[in-house]
A = this chain, B = another copy of it.
């Protein structure tokens, strides 16, 4: 137990001081403060010594130098049971400071407010971070409160222990303090790196604020939480039960694809983070019906994402199916009323979803792979490699199929008619298997559409067997990256069947 005699308070957000000050007075804790905090404490009629009076050194440089003084920091950093330290303090007449309460300049808030560079710089807290870190380092003797959200815990702790704090409380607060300073500098560091277009700095930190305790993780025996970055996800839940880990994962997959669609057009259905139906048809109803028809069996319990405002007409169709989540660019009032009747059905408005992340990260235990987001569809000019050329309509269809391939797990084959998928084969170690899955789905659910349909492959065909399977099913135009040693054989196979083939030169593995 450590009795608290003296506290230093330096807080940017002063709103809750009135709740804490009575407790500090109750236990006769002397207060040192400066600037706005000092003024606020005096206004609230509490005793307080100004930092400059305490140190004998007046505040400088518009507040840039206030607490960076040895009298303050020796008061915090000395080890109480160390006799040498005690003696040094006595000689220099430096009293102990046992409690540090800091609320940092709100750099992140100012950053999100799109302020000018100079204003941002002014909001980088130096003195406050130093106070927090000094106190946290010396947590065996000093209590640090680095966030106004901890005032209540401090009050309880002081009351429980008659003006003292326990070692475990101080250690806990120290852990919070270093989380705070790490987070704070991570925000600054990522901002500065972005300003300088540095995507891969030699030291990288990633930061998040706990925003939701999830029921569980991928599986019920795994605990999980959602952390949001400096910009939040921007999803608005309008109905239904709490989102699960897998819901978030599926929703993110859905919105990654939706982000590439033309405005107000298209439907995507996701199951296990994989597309199981997609359509860019203009009409909302036919777009949904076509997406669903790609694999109506697997769509059961999936996530449906509509890239427009859901109408009452569509709502009446949606309500007859079982989906876990419906995402859209909003819902007409009538539509919302219809769908809200299903209490568990999760409805999400994604109008404010934040699509712009330029980097993606893949964890390997404690290490991670950092890469550019896969943000383009074609990095090279398309090249028609067969005698037969695709028609303009086929070319549009091929591009659409290739765009869905990009978001399907490798090896991925997407069969499409116009701008709707009719068969998706993905997640297979063999490309031939993916071809067979895609064509068998198309033959099963869209036998009327497979003749003269098109197909896309996320990577090159290593052999002709996959192509052969597609051709036999009735596909007459194929798009693929090309680049295999067997390209000439593959092209021959297409030519022999009078099928057109386009090489993209761009591969879209997704593992």
Restricting to A7-26, which residues have a CB under 8 Å from any CB of B? none
Residues of B within 8 A of A367 (CB): 208, 211, 226-229, 232-233
- Main secondary structure on A side of the interface with B: mixed
Nearest neighbor of A432 in chain B, beta-carbon distance: B297
- Pair B192/A371 contact, Cβ less than 8 Å: no
User: Would you call A27 an interface residue if the criterion is a C-beta within 8 Å of the partner chain's C-beta atoms?
Assistant: no
Known: A196-B175, A248-B369, A510-B218. A427 touches B207 (CB 8 A): no
In the complex, which of the residues A88, A140, A204 has the most CB atoms of chain B within 10 Å of its own CB atom?
Answer: A204
- B226, B368, B411: the one contacting A369 at CB < 8 Å is B226
Restricting to A240-296, which residues have a CB under 8 Å from any CB of B? 245-246, 248-250, 252, 271-274, 276, 295
- Pair B511/A206 contact, Cβ less than 8 Å: no
Number of residues in A with C-beta < 8 Å to the partner? 137
Residues of B within 8 A of A427 (CB): 272, 274, 409, 426-428
Segment among A38-46, A95-103, A178-186, A448-456 that sits at the interface with chain B: A178-186
Restricting to A112-145, which residues have a CB under 8 Å from any CB of B? 121, 124, 126, 129-130, 133-134, 136-137, 140
- B354, B371, B374: the one contacting A365 at CB < 8 Å is B354
Restricting to A140-181, which residues have a CB under 8 Å from any CB of B? 140, 149, 171-172, 174-176, 178-181
Segment among A64-72, A324-332, A489-497 that sits at the interface with chain B: A64-72
- Pair A249/B364 contact, Cβ less than 8 Å: yes
User: Would you call A84 an interface residue if the criterion is a C-beta within 8 Å of the partner chain's C-beta atoms?
Assistant: yes
User: Would you call A387 an interface residue if the criterion is a C-beta within 8 Å of the partner chain's C-beta atoms?
Assistant: no
- Pair B429/A298 contact, Cβ less than 8 Å: yes
CB distance from A25 to the nearest CB of B (A): 29
How many angstroms between the C-alpha atoms of A440 and B180 in the bound complex?
A: 54
Residues of B within 8 A of A333 (CB): none
Restricting to A364-396, which residues have a CB under 8 Å from any CB of B? 364-374, 376, 379
Copies of this chain assembled into the complex: 2
Restricting to A284-315, which residues have a CB under 8 Å from any CB of B? 295, 297-299, 302
Nearest neighbor of A273 in chain B, beta-carbon distance: B511
CB distance from A126 to the nearest CB of B (A): 5
Known: A68-B73, A74-B60, A182-B189. A369 touches B433 (CB 8 A): no
- Pair A182/B196 contact, Cβ less than 8 Å: no
- Pair B208/A368 contact, Cβ less than 8 Å: yes
Known: A175-B193, A207-B205, A210-B200. A224 touches B372 (CB 8 A): yes
User: Would you call A320 an interface residue if the criterion is a C-beta within 8 Å of the partner chain's C-beta atoms?
Assistant: no
Residues of B within 8 A of A192 (CB): 171, 174-175, 178
Nearest neighbor of A363 in chain B, beta-carbon distance: B361
User: Would you call A420 an interface residue if the criterion is a C-beta within 8 Å of the partner chain's C-beta atoms?
Assistant: no
- Pair B204/A205 contact, Cβ less than 8 Å: no
Residues of B within 8 A of A48 (CB): none
- Pair B372/A223 contact, Cβ less than 8 Å: yes
- Pair B60/A130 contact, Cβ less than 8 Å: no
Known: A79-B61, A220-B507. A410 touches B134 (CB 8 A): no
CB distance from A501 to the nearest CB of B (A): 20
Residues of B within 8 A of A222 (CB): 371-374
User: Would you call A341 an interface residue if the criterion is a C-beta within 8 Å of the partner chain's C-beta atoms?
Assistant: no
User: Would you call A437 an interface residue if the criterion is a C-beta within 8 Å of the partner chain's C-beta atoms?
Assistant: yes
Restricting to A201-216, which residues have a CB under 8 Å from any CB of B? 201-211, 213-214
Nearest neighbor of A378 in chain B, beta-carbon distance: B221
- Pair B200/A60 contact, Cβ less than 8 Å: no
User: Would you call A217 an interface residue if the criterion is a C-beta within 8 Å of the partner chain's C-beta atoms?
Assistant: yes
Residues of B within 8 A of A433 (CB): 298, 437
- Pair B171/A200 contact, Cβ less than 8 Å: no
How many angstroms between the C-alpha atoms of A221 and B175 in the bound complex?
A: 41
Residues of B within 8 A of A429 (CB): 271-272, 274, 276, 295, 298-299, 302
User: Would you call A230 an interface residue if the criterion is a C-beta within 8 Å of the partner chain's C-beta atoms?
Assistant: yes
Binding site for B on A (CB under 8 A): 57, 60-62, 64-65, 68-70, 72-74, 77-79, 82, 84-85, 88, 92, 121, 124, 126, 129-130, 133-134, 136-137, 140, 149, 171-172, 174-176, 178-183, 185-186, 188-189, 192-193, 195-196, 198-211, 213-214, 217-233, 245-246, 248-250, 252, 271-274, 276, 295, 297-299, 302, 354-357, 360-374, 376, 379, 409-411, 426-430, 432-433, 437, 506-511
Pairs A-B, 4 closest by C-beta atoms? A427-B427, A217-B371, A229-B366, A298-B429
| Contact sample, A vs B, 12 pairs, CB 8 Å cutoff | A126-B134, A179-B204, A200-B223, A200-B225, A204-B227, A208-B367, A211-B367, A218-B374, A219-B507, A221-B506, A245-B369, A276-B429
Further pairs besides A60-B92, A230-B366, A276-B429: 6, Cβ < 8 Å: A181-B189, A223-B371, A226-B368, A228-B367, A252-B364, A426-B427
